[in-house]
Amino acid sequence: METVSENACFGGVQGVYTHASEACGCDMTFGLFLPDEARDGPVPVLWYLSGLTCTHENAMVKAGAQGWAAEQGIALVFPDTSPRGEGVADDEGYDLGQGAGFYVNATQDPWKPHFQMWDYVAEELPRLITGNFAVDEERQAITGHSMGGHGALTLAMNLAGRYRSVSAFAPISNPTASDWGRKQLSAYLGDDESLWARHDASLMMREAGFDGPVLTDTGTNDQFIDLLRPEALAEACAARRQHATLRMQPGYDHSYFFVSTFMEDHIAFHAEALYAG
């Protein structure tokens, strides 16, 4: 692992690091904010998964999360959204290939050799971070935006007991029924739609649910709302009688102006779960 940069930030440190990823077969970059409390021992951690076209940098720079995390004594991890570099498959479309990993393990060529983002986020990067930084592996929570909201919800419901809480900003809630999903899941996983289900938050909510608090926010003026399908997740929560707070925010769109507006709420929501007990 190599340090790209470390900057003082709200009493803590905002770092950027690169490492050779075994899961993805290429160099990967991530951001990590450590609050001042990390000087004295491991702190709880909130994972932030970004959306289509993003890198580790978008949320790190635009979401306004570090100040609120510093107040709560919580670390923030900002992974990249896909493998990158020469020899890594790509596509002319913005919504497939580099910048669009969709947090799945690809089984189809040409994506299979590098696009193992599920294993990277669920296994490899957590081991690297807990092994090198003062982060408490027993106190984890997860959030994300758009494609990252999809990743946060599906990781949380598939990895029972891993995360104490899950939230999402404008998540892709029902990708098996959306053009933001069917294209990518068929490309990465093949045409057998039974293999897609564990990567659909609405289907997973009906099947498994989440043993903990759930929060989502979506703007009523989100220009992609028909692709996000928040109503499908709401119906699934109602069918399962899952305790969840699913909010529609009047006038907000899909941008980081929206994300940053509600970031304080989301970090306070996760802090309550991370410090419970």
254: annotated active-site residue: yes
Say whether pLDDT at 277 is over 80.
Answer: no
Percentage of the chain beyond pLDDT 90 is 100
Give the residue numbers spanning the domain of 26.
2-275
**Cβ proximity of 60 and 102 under 8 Å:** no
Q: Residue 104 contacts by C-beta under 8 Å, 6 or more apart in sequence?
A: 115, 117, 118, 184, 185, 188, 189, 199
**Cβ proximity of 106 and 112 under 8 Å:** yes
The CA R_g of the chain, rounded to the nearest whole Å, is 17
146: annotated active-site residue: yes
Q: What is the CATH number of the domain that holds 218?
A: 3.40.50.1820
End-to-end CA distance of the chain: 34
pLDDT digits 0-9 by tens, 193-205: 999 999 999 999 9
Rounded to two decimals, what is the model's pTM?
Answer: 0.98
Per the listing, tokens 């999903």 go with 181
Catalytic-labelled residue, pool 150, 254, 266, 270: 254
Closest CA to 277 of 164, 160, 143, 156: 164
Catalytic-labelled residue, pool 80, 200, 217, 222: 222
Judge residue 116's burial from the number of C-beta atoms within 10 Å of its C-beta, 0-12 exposed, 13-18 middle, 19 or more buried: buried
270: annotated active-site residue: no
Catalytic-labelled residue, pool 21, 50, 82, 146: 146
| Residue 136 pLDDT grade (very low, low, confident, very high; cuts 50, 70, 90) | very high
Closest CA to 209 of 239, 188, 183, 186: 239
- Determine the pLDDT at residue 97: 97
The structural domain count of the chain equals 1
